Chains A and B, each alone.
Chain A
Amino acid sequence: MAQFRLPDVGEGLTEAEIVTWHVAVGDVVAVNDVLVDIETAKSVVELPSPFAGTVTDLLVEPGRTVPVGTPIVAIGEAAEVADAAAEEKAPEMLVGYGPKDEASGGRRRRRAAVPAAVGATATATVERPRAAPPVRLLARRLGVDLARVPCDGIVTRRDLESFVRSHDGDASRVAGDAAAAPAPAPATAPAPAPSAGDRTVPHTAVRRVTAAAMVASAFTAPHVTEWVEVDVSRTVELVERLRGEREWRDVPVSTLHLVLRSVCLALRRTPELHAVWGDDALTIPEHVGLGVAAATDRGLVVPVVPQAETLDLRGIVEQVGELVAVARSGRLQPAQMAGGTFTVTNIGVFGVDAGTPILPPGQTGILAVGAITRKPWVDEHDQVVPRWVTTLALSFDHRAVDGAQGSRFLRDVADLLHDPALALTV
């Protein structure tokens, strides 16, 4: 059953009178049939029905004036299927200021009371100290009562920081008494008591985006991680050889590029690894949007090489080179980070072997490439020989992909890197 709430028909009206109903209980109405005349401060207006169905209740009698947002009519069961969504959305009605306040928690509602962080000693008449939102947020995170921070009219970030420093890590002195400074939010553990040497590093935009993405992904996609150690000496040799060739002189090819190329080839056989999980179906994209995680001064960014499967090795080197350079300069456009279907992260550059990478939200697979180091390796003649060895770690979304597919994909990438000549076979 859907309720139609009195809309604001005239930019800022707060109420209207119900003048005449054009329908009665039991009437069947179609979308946009006239339901009722209402009279506002400006004029008499006909309201068309947003829903199709049977009128089950007229909720306001003629002659009564009601606030915008008041449910005025209920339209029931026979409603079109297509309008079911609208039914759920009804309280969110844009123009009805009423519903937003009452029904959905109210962005417009302002609490008259002083926020908790100001402290229990404050009464409702105490003015809230003036500070820019980032400073207020930081104070709340630190549990600092802004009213206690000495300032020149407006509390600046510097005022807050020096207040925190000068209080020597004495939590209660910084925050006021314990009752006055409850934890910022029930879900988070209390922050450790600030100390003199503490530094606060405001979040950059990149940090925020990374944080949101990691939380979104970690708590929606059930991750599985598998890894494999592989002898990549032949790939290392191939890279060396290419670097020595004239045609490749200006192309800064590296083993990472061969990993990227191998991923594209392996996705041919197991495209599920870059599928998109949906409620009703799995979508397997036509093209590979290959995300390449890059560490920058500003944090982690993941530029995407579009249609990577159409590129040859040189194309990959060039595109990745350009994107990473732009990323490092901080000028990457959102579009250049969008459209990724599979991601590769080169954690080897940090000198580590393996990890359990977290999927970028919406993607099904991510491959971490560890450091390539000289290690003793037992070759096919049972001899222990020094070889170039790396570890590949693949995380995948177990909703979309089972171990069989994940393992096959990982094995394919490993085999191609072990013996790049196999590329001829795929």
Chain B
Amino acid sequence: MNPSLPTESDESDLVRLLTPEGARVEHADAGWSGTDADLFALYRDMVLTRRIDTEGYALQRHGELGLWPPCLGQEAVQVGTAHALRAQDMAFPTYRDHGVAWVRGVPPERLLGIYRGTEHGGWDPAEHGIALPAIIIGAQTLHAAGYAMGVLMDEAVGHADSSRDAAVAVYLGDGATSQGDTLEAMSWAASFSLPLVFVIENNQYAISTATSRQTTVPLVRRAAGFGIHGVRVDGNDVLASQAVMEAALGRARDGHGPTVIEAVTYRRGAHTTSDDPSRYRAGEETEYWEARDPIARVRVLLDSLGTFERELAELDAEAEALGERLRSACRTLPEPDLAALFDLVHVETTPELREQQEAAIAWKALDTEETAS
């Protein structure tokens, strides 16, 4: 048996509100009560996320990016949970969370610089309510726990005031659950009752290592050991993802502490553009998950409503334009200025850094003259 194919019992505790076939279903502990327009908005964000992702992948193959980590197949958990965030909330993403960045309003061009090697970050975290992507596996869980401590110190929870009470969301992979950082963060979150939601995107792999190698029980059960509320959701179901996230963020904002969400999903693409997944997984498994695509099931539902024909046609054009926009933006990203890097370290620079900056400028001048002569 393929260890990455879920069994009946694996699926029994999943919160699911939309079946892979596109049918709405009820769940005792969760519900999604959005309008048809809300449904379309979720669909639109998933489609555009996928377009950003496929263009990022293609740009790497064009030779324009050094690397791209695709999020293909994980659009529902990213878009659904991000839709539950409010302006005052803060998200801590990984390198793969393009859909979260998109929903938080980060211009997608800003995702490219770091993978082209022209930028160290990409955007102002405070402006968009989303930190820069963490590449060090699990490190962001500690950043998020620290930030959540700050939210508590600012007394920004528990006022029953939706414009003010804030929560923090941290995104991590199944592989990251094996990092000490993640366990420390969960420990702090529990002890201090932090307004923090852990969103584990269990995409079945940490590069080539299957989740079954990271754990012998569902990852959500880690939560119980810390005394944290845990919930397991179909991460390819955007409605369920949004619903459980809204509940978890609500608890956090009300001062009732952290939640661990395990979103069961699948990384349909390679780990990154440098990876060849055919070396560690094959046919049956990829077909299984293809049939559970997060976007297709919402499309079935939308088509059955029959009210979005014009919008759906326009969305195709919008997605194409977005791909084009990314392509031309990528090619014109400015080459970084080495000397300018030093200006980004401190508000007021130190004499040592000033000296290093002068050295860097001199080095550049020598280098240019040498290659010119």
Contacts and interface: CB of A to CB of B under 8 A. Distances in A.
Interface of A: 4-11, 31-32, 42-48, 50, 82, 85-86, 89, 93-96, 105-107, 109, 111, 115-116, 132-134, 136-137, 140, 184-185, 202, 205, 208, 331, 334
Given A9-B60, A86-B331, A136-B366, A94 B116 contact: yes
Interface in B31-63: 58, 60-63
18 contacts: A4-B63, A7-B61, A7-B63, A11-B66, A11-B67, A32-B323, A44-B276, A47-B62, A50-B63, A89-B331, A93-B64, A94-B66, A95-B63, A106-B371, A107-B371, A133-B359, A185-B369, A334-B343
Contact of A109 (B358, B362, B371): B371
B357 A205 contact: yes
Contacts of A184: 369
Nearest to A204: B358
A137 B365 contact: yes
Nearest to B360: A133
Contact of A82 (B62, B276, B328, B369): B328
Interface in B287-342: 323-324, 327-328, 331-332
Contacts of B63: 4-8, 50, 93-96
Contact of B62 (A48, A111, A115): A48
A366 B365 CA distance: 31
A10 B273 CA distance: 7
A6 B279 CA distance: 24
Contacts, number: 100
A133 B354 CA distance: 14
A133 B116 contact: no
A6 B63 CA distance: 8
A6 B372 CA distance: 26
Nearest to B335: A92
A94 B64 contact: yes
Contacts of B348: 331
B324 A133 contact: no
Contacts of A133: 359-360, 362-363, 366
B107 interface: no
B363 to A, nearest CB: 4
B166 to A, nearest CB: 28
Contacts of B274: 9-11, 42
Contacts of B373: 116, 185
Given A5-B63, A82-B324, A334-B343, 5 more contacts: A7-B62, A11-B274, A82-B328, A134-B362, A185-B372
B9 to A, nearest CB: 35
Given A132-B359, A134-B358, A140 B366 contact: yes
A423 B106 CA distance: 46
B367 A107 contact: yes
* B interface, over-half SS: helix
Contacts of A136: 362, 366
B65 A95 contact: yes
B352 interface: no
Contacts of B369: 140, 184-185
Interface residues of B, number: 40
Most buried by A among B61, B117, B371: B61
Nearest to A35: B61
Contacts of A95: 60, 63-66
B336 to A, nearest CB: 12
B264 to A, nearest CB: 27
Contacts of A93: 63-64
A163 B272 CA distance: 55
A44 B270 CA distance: 13
B7 interface: no
A140 B373 CA distance: 13
Nearest to B358: A134
Among A132, A133, A185: residue with most chain B CB under 10 A? A133
Contacts of A11: 66-67, 274
A344 to B, nearest CB: 27
Nearest to A95: B63
A27 B328 CA distance: 24
Contact of B327 (A7, A31, A116, A140): A31
Contacts of B372: 105, 185
Contacts of B278: 43
A96 B354 CA distance: 33
Nearest to B328: A82
Contacts of B363: 133
Contacts of A9: 60-61, 273-274
A200 to B, nearest CB: 13
Nearest to B365: A137
A133 B359 CA distance: 5
B73 to A, nearest CB: 18
Given A11-B274, A86-B331, A94-B117, A137 B60 contact: no
Looking at A106, A137, A184, which has the most chain B CB atoms within 10 Å of its CB? Answer: A137
Contacts of A134: 358-359, 362
Nearest to A136: B366
B359 to A, nearest CB: 5
B331 A208 contact: no
A5 B62 CA distance: 9
Nearest to B276: A43
A307 B323 CA distance: 37
Contacts of B64: 7, 50, 93-95
Contacts of A85: 328, 331-332
Contacts of B328: 82, 85-86
B361 interface: yes
Which of A6, A9, A93 has the most B CB atoms < 10 Å from its CB?
A: A9
Contacts of A137: 362, 365-366
